Structure 1
Amino acid sequence: MKTTISVRPELERPTNRPLRVTFGTLWLVDLVATVFLFLVPYATELNPLTTLFYDTIGLPGVLLAGTIYAVLVVLIGYVLSKPVDGVFLIGVAAVYGVCATNNVVLLLFREPIVEQLVL
């Protein structure tokens, strides 16, 4: 009789499909808005890694950085146990929601959302 020991940790798929779709949608909106931030002269991207990738390889670097962020979030969600994976995904979706909202407002009105709310 041969016994095998699994070296890989067991990965659990996050269960909340609507939450994963929300994360993906907010990530995509933020990614598109971030690409446009590099194309307009009046806005700058604050994320230094995204800016480094842009300076190195141009707009594909922005897409690469955004994809790396999404892959990391998905991998972390698989490693975390339930219900911590859902709480983590809610937090990340909230961060992407704030970033996407800020970037879209900045593109439309040329001012960040904080300045729009203060007025």
Structure 2
Amino acid sequence: MKIVLACVAGLSTTMMMDSMKSVINNSKKLNSDDFQLLAIPVEQLPTEIEDTDVVLLGPQVSYKSDFVKSLTEPLKIPYVVIDRETYGSMDGGTVIKKALIAQRKQEIKNAEGAKNNV
């Protein structure tokens, strides 16, 4: 699962990414080999969107959600804006859960769309 974390310059998002990696590595249910995490400035998203499963936006770039939606929606990639409280506390566990839920919802939506097109 490729998760792209987008923010302003990548510094605080790298800290969040490290927190997420720690949660994954310490989990009995999650396998670190199943995850690829990438922290980038939001402007780099067009060049990194390929093969992405979920895009996470730091709260400081939530104003860019229309831009992100324009990139993710045609590719059926979900995106989540991380709330300030979760981001401020560097709660990687909550962020991983939100990413997994967003991906699962998109899978269900894609499957329903496929059924309706048959």
The answer to whether the superposition gives a TM-score over 0.5 is no
Higher alpha-carbon Rg: 1
The structure that is strand-richer by fraction is 2
TM-score (norm 2): 0.34
The structure that is helix-richer by fraction is 1
